[in-house]
Structure 1
């Protein structure tokens, strides 16, 4: 397992992280003393769900913004 000093790790962090993700862990050292070990995660990262994932599965009525308008108005005015 490679031991890399902090300066080199900062300079080549992207490459080092990619190597660790592919199963090649490394150690970051300061003044020759090991500080941390960087290894790949065992569990896969879940993909982020994006807006629109139900596209085509739902329908919104054209009058959605006016639905029950009289009932809502009556509730605000206290007449219902």
Structure 2
């Protein structure tokens, strides 16, 4: 039980850590300072965590890294839409 709480807390903090960047990018319509390589690496990393979570049937890993992957996809979308 405690391991699930720790897993949710860790995953939640990592996933929401990108939300301020999404908000800033949306408000400024600028994503020039966001590295495409960083977005790619984070996307691959979170996707692999989701796959790992599925393989070991760990809901905290699947849920939190799935959310992190979604936030990363939003940033990638913004990078494409707001590019100059």
Q: One fold, TM greater than 0.5?
A: no
More helix as a share of residues:
2
**What TM-score results when the alignment is normalised by the length of structure 2?**
0.27
Choose 1 or 2 for highest CA Rg.
1
